[in-house]
Amino acid sequence: MSKKYNATDIGRMFDISARKINGILEKLGFQERDHGFWWITDKGRELSEVTSKNNGYGGSHKAVWASVKWDESIIEKIKEYLDKEE
């Protein structure tokens, strides 16, 4: 079983922000941004795991959010992208 990493974890590996990692993942076609939210593309589904969480409250205090973790194989794809960018 391979390890999973979120954008913050991956960013730390390259000493760049999670925001930049998300932008790279978008440029590589693994996710897209729509109305302020990141959506995993068909290409990204095989390399990601999305979990939904909530704060446990109901009514007007309810909050729900999603968390994306990427398979460790995405790290090499990001490294290749960054190497080409230099």
Helical H segments across 1-86, by residue range: 7-14, 18-27, 42-45, 73-85
Model's pTM, two decimal places?
A: 0.85
Residue 1 has pLDDT above 70, yes or no: no
What are the structural domain ranges in the chain? 4-85
Q: Which of 83, 65, 66 is closest to 24 using CA atoms?
A: 83
CB 8 within 8 A of CB 18: yes
Residue 9 has pLDDT above 70, yes or no: yes
Q: For 17-67, how does the pLDDT look when each residue is reduced to its tens digit (9 = 90+)?
A: 999 999 999 999 999 999 988 999 999 999 999 988 888 887 787 787 788
pLDDT at 3: 93
pLDDT at 36: 87
Termini Cα distance of the chain: 32
